[in-house]
Amino acid sequence: MFERLTRRLIGQLPSRRRGAEVVRVSAAGLHVRDGGAERVVAWRKVDRVVADRATQMAGDTHLLVFGLAGGGVVVVSEADGVWRQVAADLPEWLPGAERGAAWQVRLAAADGPVEVFQR
């Protein structure tokens, strides 16, 4: 089910900018802006993280898809300003998460999504 939802989100990536966007990350969680309102998605609510890529006309865009307790998702794209920080610091916020260099190498070699973290 999570993979189906991930694929659906990837298919809608260009329109995602009109919706929720992760604007910063902190020890508290992912700071998401939806319209004018900002909310924090706490790290403890993240059940799973999957790295994937969306094929675009000029190459692939890498994504981190955060599966949340209760069924929601938050997507961070490599085009987002927080991408480098999230990719580098994810194990600090989610103990047991794979380091960025490791999952990025696996993603480059994979035919589909790779799991980065699961509770």
State the pTM of this model.
Answer: 0.79
Domain containing 114: what range? 2-118
If DSSP codes are grouped into helix, strand and coil, which group holds residue 67? strand
66-93 confidence digits (pLDDT tens):
999 988 889 998 888 898 999 899 999 9
CA 22 to CA 40: how far, in whole Å?
A: 9
State how many domains the chain has: 1
Q: Is the pLDDT of residue 94 over 90?
A: yes
85: how many CB neighbours lie within 10 A of its CB?
A: 14
Average pLDDT, the chain: 83
Q: Is the pLDDT of residue 55 over 50?
A: yes
Residue 97 has a pLDDT of: 93
The values of phi and psi at residue 110, to 5°, are -85, 155
